[in-house]
Every structure is written in structure tokens, then in C-alpha cells.
Chains A and B, each alone.
Chain A
Amino acid sequence: MTSIAKPKILHKGLRRNGLGLTMRDYEGGMSTLCAGCGHDSVTAAIVQAFFELDIPPHRAAKVSGIGCSSKTPAYFLGASHGFNAVHGRMPSIATGASAANRELYIIGVSGDGDSLSIGLGQFAHAVRRNLNMLYIIENNGVYGLTKGQFSASADIGAKAKKGEENRQPPIDPVQMALALGGTFVARSFSGDKEQLVPLIKAGLLHKGFALIDVLSPCVTFNDHEASTKSYAYTRTHRSTAVEADFVPARAAIQTSYAEGEIVDVELHDGSRVRLRKVSKDYDPGNRGAALDYIRSRHRAGEIVTGLLYIDESEPHFHVMNGTTQTPLASLSYESLCPGSAALEALQRRFR
């Protein structure tokens, strides 16, 4: 029998994490994406990050919209919660889930189509709310699922597979998030797990909204020569501004770096993200300068990647909205439904 499903083989070289689980325990169903799709690599990076963070799979909630990218939550964390929303509406679902249970690690996976066209409004407000979630855009410049039409992230002059040229300027989710007050803004590449995995870990532990725009080539509709989102183009035009290493809470602090080169930022569970500036005049704590830098490199034909901006001090969604500390699911019936007298009292306040 020919099989295309990945079998679960507990081989002798398989690592176990702090929970005694293997990477296999963090995988999901068999991918139905095209062979070689960048999105599958992002899936693998997510699996690795959750595994290495020792997060029990059932503590995660996966949310997505519509698209090849939005299908991928089915392929990781098979034993977690999930909601596949309508096109572009994942942030609403994420907001609800987060409000109802702040103990969940919420991971949203979207596409450039899902987030930058139909879902642009929802995306913008999720940033603005500083919603406690990791929001990954698997950015391939096209609507992969509907067979490769240009998306809003396509560059001017980029050519589709059949040759037509894009003439409209791209929307860059990174610049947008910076402009809208995003508190964790990163860009990476599906073909570079060394960079991507620490970013996912840091993003999951960030206090607020973490955006990672992942260049994730569509091997079927956008990996040809005149594409600006292909494997080859991305590899030749990518530069890294800041490298981010993830340092778990229990690891000892290392001081082998020269002064000024390194900035440690503490995340919400005491772990840290260690920033190493590759470009020496770049400052991941300066929103305006970050925007300028990204724009100027873009004009020079470069795609800047890395952890481009981080701020752990801004109030996040739960703080701003005073949401319940205890997940709704754990509250007693009496506090969830305090009875008609309480309702009466509430309504009186609005009369």
C-alpha cells in the first residue's frame, strides 16, 4: 500500500522535553499542502518551538482564517484547541478566546491574503488592542489556495507565473504593525528555522500582540524566476538586522558578548530574548528608526528580517480591558451567572 502519512516511530535518537513528550506529540494531521510549500516548514518550526518550550499541547489554542496558510493549524498540535474562522476573521475569534481564557497560548496563522486584503481591518485592530497572541502571517505574495492571484503583499514589478506584472504597491504588515503601535514585530523566512524558532518562542511568551511576518514561498504559484517571494529571491535579497536568541527562564545568564552589542529583554515568564544587532546602527527599541531602516533597505532591494521591534512595557489587552484572571471555564456557576438580582442592578446603572 502506498502511504503518504508520516508514521509515528519512537526511534532511539528522538529527544524528549521537560514533559517527557517527543516532537511527534506536537505534530498534527498529515499536510495536504503542495510538496515543498514554505508553510509546511513554518508548521515544523511551530512544532519545534512548542516542544522546546515544554508547553502542554492542550494549553494552546490555534486560530486561523482561510487559505493554504490558514489550513496549517490542522498540521500541528493535534491535541490542542482550535478554530478555523471565516476568511479574514481570525482576530475576532482570537479576541474572544483570549478574553475567555488568558491562560491559553493563542497562536494565529494567517496568510497575506487573509490578513492584508479581506482581513486587513481585523488585523489592524488586533495590533491596536495589543491582543495577547502570536500572529503569524505566512506571506507568499499570492492567494495560494485560489490558484495564485497576486495578493496585497506582492511587490511592484513582480510577475505572476503566467507572466502578468503587479503594478500596485505592496502592503507590508511589518510596517503597518509598527505604525499601529505593535509591541513585537518580526520578520523571518520559512527556510531559516534557526532564525524562526527562537522568534516563535519569544512571540509566544511576549506580553501582548506578537507579529511574525514569515516569507513562505508558494512553491506552486510563486517560486518562478520573476517572483520576489521565491526561495531563491528571498535567499539572495534577505538581510538580518537583529538576531534574537531565546533564553529560557532557568538558563544562567551568559556575558560572553561585548558591551552594547547585546540587549536582553525579559518576557512574561521570566525567560528572555537576547537581541544581537547585526547592523550596528539598528535599534529594536526605537519604533521610528526601525521604520526608517526597513524602508530604506527596501528601497535598496533588501528584505530586512529579525526581531525588528520589541516593547514589553505597553499595557496589553487583558490589562486594558480588565479581563478575568480566572478562565471562564474555571469560574463557578454562581460567579458566571449571578442571578436576576445582579442583572437588575447592572441594568439600573444604564438607565
Chain B
Amino acid sequence: MEPTKTQGTEYFHRVVDCQWACPAHTDVPEYIRLISLGRFDDAYLLNRRSNVFPGILGRVCDRPCEPACRRGRVEEKPVAICRLKRAAADHRGDITSRLPKAPAVRNGKRVALVGAGPASLSVANDLLPLGYECVIFEAHDKPGGLMRTNIPAFRLPASVLDEEIGYIVDMGADLRLSTPVKSMRALLDEGFDAIFVGSGAPKGKDLDLPGRRDTDRIHIGIQWLESIAFGHVDSIGERVLIIGVGNTAMDCCRSALRLGAKDVKVMARKPRQFFKASEWELEDAEEERVEIVVNHSPKAFVVEDGKLVGMRFDKLEYDLDERGRIVGSRVVEEVLIPCDDVVLAIGQENAFPWIERDLGIEFDKWGVPVVDPVTFESTRAGVFFGGDAAFGPKNIIWAVEHGHQAAISIHLHCRGRPLTERLPRGVTLSSAKMGIHEWSYSNAFDPSERRLVPHVDLKSRFKRLDIEVELGFTPEQIATEVERCLNCDLQTVFTSDLCIECDACIDICPVDCLTIARNADAPELERSLKAPRLNPEQPLFVSAPLKQTGRVMVKDENLCVHCGLCAERCPTGAWDMQKSRVVIPYAADQSTEAEVPCRKIG
């Protein structure tokens, strides 16, 4: 195989699995180290730089980082990355003086932001410190978008939202609540320098089955959750069926319990391995005695004398192939399940009734706007989309990342620069060696198992709608959990010229991920590895030919625990542990060179 290029590539970024998986590329290992040092303020601010809402995301993030976490490959459970983020937020002091500030003199540019969800708020967060005037139009009387209206308060308390949204608004955003934008044409006429659409994907899908229109006890999940959030709904029948088994369904079933339901069933069409909900959301619902019923396909709502009495389902049986995919299904029987209310949680769609279709803003056949995946610009120059509004429903951390990228585009647009003039990502490296047997990080492998976050007990948590169930880690749990992080940003950097092929690194590596072998094509080289290559998704590092024998050093990145023992035992320093930092550019980092007159919208 050819020697692996590590310089000037994303190689080392990929090694930091969590940071690579995080849409906003949060520097997870660094914030975990800061927490381990008790530097909660610094950990919080480092988080905030990339994900803007550490307190919120530390509770409800979709956490794509955790399934990616290396620890989950070395043993069963990943590091509790998300819970540690909350720990940084919970234990921070007053950090307000260290937040970015808007300059005293504005830069003269005005940006309109439609919707006050996480996408628009992130754009404002990045543009306000650069002197932009940010006008945020929000239909509701409170900012936050679905984070406020749909994520129930027992998962995300309002005070946390208020505080972190406040950090942005207090920089001087012009937040206009209860001000829905009714016409894009009219908004365009107001002469903004750029417009960002962060209006979300607000339409809950309906289920048109017999009986659907004959009762008022069938609710559309996201509207229903919103009504609960605003206090318009405060009760529900005893027996509730939730249709669908995604994350919305999990919030619906748990909300139903808090409104007084006694028997809540989540009805799924497919077997459990096909569920969309995250495993932890399912666990939380089942802990509260929600019953999850699989293989039931909805057929009809049964309404008698104008009263909903139940729902009919086809009970299905599935045929799976050897890879576990569904290849066939058949109905085994029809069942009637009695209920008093039904909540439909089967998905969300985009809806832009307020955007006229003759403005040069194109939509595809599903009504989703045509948006550039890098610049987030629509087909009309100066009009940008982000968050759920751009490519359909995703999650908060994606909305934040869209916001960062859109802010870069808006900043370029307003200075007349091409939107493609974006700074590249980079990686810096510096040696972590501090002396003999001394590294600048905690390299010891801690065999502790993942800590479980304590919950409010099952009796008290239902007393009010807004009792937060998760309590956050105790200080002892934090101290243990931080040590589970494998410091994947401490890279093993190899200098082939220095290697004398003494095998010391090979012999010491606790996970057998190093091999010195005769070079060959990929399949043959893989066969000579000391431990089998169990995860071909993970990169192989192949060195240049070694001086004494011409063989090559091969490293399988899959299981490396970044213990530094290879570097510790290497007599020549051919292996070194180096702290990498992935440099992620934001709007503020874009060049501030002389301004060119702003391009107009359109």
C-alpha cells in the first residue's frame, strides 16, 4: 500500500471519532479534559464556540458522537459525552463577562432571520459580534422553536432555554416575538442585506384512515406537544395510543402519562430493530411503564356514537433475510385495541405557505427548497435556509451547524465576496511529551464502566409536567466518567526515518493495533496484522518503508486507546503522542479585508 498521507488531510480529524461525527465538530476530548481539571467555565465556553447551546444540548442532543465514540468499540458503552456537556453547564460559574459581545458601532448591514429556533439563533450568535443588525421574526410569543414548543419541559427546563437564548439575544438582537412573517415578498421589500429562513419543518403528518374525521380525540403529535407547552392542553383520556415510534412518539407517550393517562401504548409497525427512536429515549419511556407494541399496522379508527373507542390494527409477521432486512410480510390477524385518545407521531414536513413561488426561490416536488449544501444559499442570492427548513427535519445540533455555515455565507455575501471563499478546516499538532514518563494528558486506561445518570424517582416525577427527570451527574460520577475518555485527539504520530524496528511498540500496545510487516497490497497487508481488522471503516495507517528492512509500520486506528505506550517505549521517538486541534473556521475567522460594496439580494 502507498504510505498514508496525514499532513494536510482530514486523517487526524477522523481519528477523533466523536468530533468527526458531531455535525458542529465540538472538541469533545478537550472539553472533557477541561472538566477533569475542574475548569467548568472553560469547558462550557469551548462547547459554546461550536455548539452554541451546551446546557440545552447537554440534555437533549441527538448525540451522533456517542455511537461513534471509540470507547464503544473497545468495550460496550461509549463515554457519556452528552451528560458531561451538561456537567460543564451545571457547574459553570458566571461566564457572562466572557461571552462574545457586539461592537459599539454596527457594521451597517441588516439581516432578517425568520423564526427563533436554534438555526436562526446560531446565525445571530455568529453575526452579532461582527456588528450585524439581526432582526429575528418569531410567530410565537417565546423564542426557541421546537426546543421550546415540542421538547417537553421534563427533558429540557424552560430556565435552561431562557438562559442560553438570552446570551444571544442580549448581544443586541432585535427579537420580534408574535410577529409571523406572512409574505417573503414583503420581507424582501424591506431592504435587508440578507435573509435567513430558519422557520423549521412545522407540519405534522396526518393519517387518513377510516374514522379520522369523526372524532376530536385524534391529535397530531407536534401540534399536541405545542399545545401542552403553551398550556392549552392539560388533560387526556386514560387509555392513549401513540402511533409511530420515533423520538416524537417518545415525547408524546411520556407527556400523556403526565397529563393523567394510565395506559399508554406506543404502536409500531415494525420490529424493534427498525425503530427510529434513539435507544436511550426508548429506555426512558419503558422505565415509565409505557408499553411498546411491535408489528401492528394501523387500519382504522373505531368511533361509536361520535366517541372514539379504539383502533383496529393488522398484526403483521415479517420475513427477514440473513442480513436482517425485511423481505416480506403478511397479516396474521386483525386486532382492536380500545383507547380514549390517539396521538399521531409519524413524522414532520416542511411548509412554506408564506413564501411566494415567483420570487426566484425554487422548491423541489416535495416542497423542500433547493439549497446549496455548503453555502446554504437558496436559488435566490442573499436568501439562505438552515435548520429543519433547509433539508427537512433533523435535530438541534444540525440546525446549529447550518447556522454557523449560513453565517459565514452571509458574512461573505455582505462583503461582496464569493460564497466559496471559505476558509478550509485544518489540524494543528504539538508534542505532548513533558519529560521522562510524563505526558501532558491522563494517558492511563481507566477500566471503569459508563456512569448512569440518576433520575427523579418514578413516583415524584409525574407530580408536575415540568419536573426534569434527569438529575445530572454527581461530582463523583463526573470524576469517573471523564477518565473513560480515551483522549483520541492525542494522536500517534510516526516518523519512519527514526524507527530501528526494535518491536517495542508492537509488544507493548495493549490492543495489538501495531504491526511491522512486509508491504503488500491492501488485502494481504491486512492478513498480516497482529489483530484482525474488525472495522474496515476505520483507517489503516501505513508508513513509508523503514530504513533497516524496508518493511512498513502499519497501524489499525480502530482500537487504539491513545495510551501513549508505543511512544513511551519507543527508544528513538519514532512514535510521538501529539495533541491535535481541529481548526474549524467561523464567520468571525473569515478575512476582514477591505470591503467591497454589498451585493444585493436577488
Contact = CB atoms under 8 A, between A and B. Distances in A.
Interface of A: 1-9, 11-15, 34-38, 40-41, 43-44, 190-191, 193, 217, 219-220, 223, 231-232, 235
Contact of A11 (B74, B565, B569): B74
Contacts of B437: 2, 4
A29 B340 CA distance: 67
B572 interface: yes
B507 to A, nearest CB: 4
Contacts of B571: 34-37, 219-220
Contacts of A193: 503
A36 B443 CA distance: 20
Of A35, A37, A38, A219, which is in contact with the most chain B CB atoms at under 10 Å from its CB?
A35
Nearest to B572: A36
A44 B570 CA distance: 15
B295 interface: no
A190 B548 CA distance: 14
B277 to A, nearest CB: 27
B97 interface: no
20 contacts: A1-B444, A2-B437, A3-B443, A4-B568, A7-B563, A13-B511, A13-B512, A13-B559, A14-B531, A35-B569, A35-B570, A36-B502, A36-B571, A40-B504, A40-B507, A41-B507, A44-B506, A191-B502, A231-B548, A232-B548
Contacts of B261: none
Given A13-B512, A14-B531, A7 B503 contact: no
Contacts, number: 102
Given A1-B442, A6-B510, A35-B571, A11 B503 contact: no
Interface string B493-527: 00000001111101110111000000000000000
B444 A3 contact: yes
B319 interface: no
A41 B563 contact: no
B447 interface: yes
A7 B507 contact: no
Contacts of B512: 11, 13-14
B510 A7 contact: yes
A232 B565 contact: no
Contact of B565 (A4, A15, A235): A4
Interface string B544-579: 000011000000000101010100111110000000
Contacts of A14: 512, 531
Given A11-B559, A44-B503, 6 more contacts: A2-B439, A2-B443, A2-B444, A9-B74, A13-B512, A41-B503
Contacts of B443: 2-3
A148 to B, nearest CB: 15
B162 interface: no
B549 A235 contact: yes
A3 B559 contact: no
A14 B502 CA distance: 23
Given A4-B565, A8-B510, A11-B511, A231 B531 contact: no
B567 to A, nearest CB: 9
Nearest to B508: A6
A331 B438 CA distance: 52
Contacts of B561: 7, 9
A1 B531 CA distance: 28
Contact of A36 (B73, B434, B565, B569): B569
Nearest to A47: B507
Contacts of A15: 531
Nearest to A230: B500
B597 to A, nearest CB: 57
A219 B502 contact: yes
A35 B566 CA distance: 10
B105 interface: no
Nearest to A9: B510
Contacts of B559: 11-13
Contact of A6 (B73, B506, B565): B565
B531 A41 contact: no
B504 A41 contact: yes
B502 A13 contact: no
B363 interface: no
Contacts of B507: 40-41, 43-44
Contact of B438 (A2, A8, A217, A220): A2
Interface string B189-212: 000000000000000000000000
B534 interface: yes
Given A14-B512, A41-B507, A43-B507, A7 B569 contact: no
Q: Tell me which of A7, A13, A191 has the highest count of chain B C-beta atoms within 10 A of its own C-beta.
A: A13
3 nearest CB pairs, A to B: A36-B571, A3-B444, A13-B531
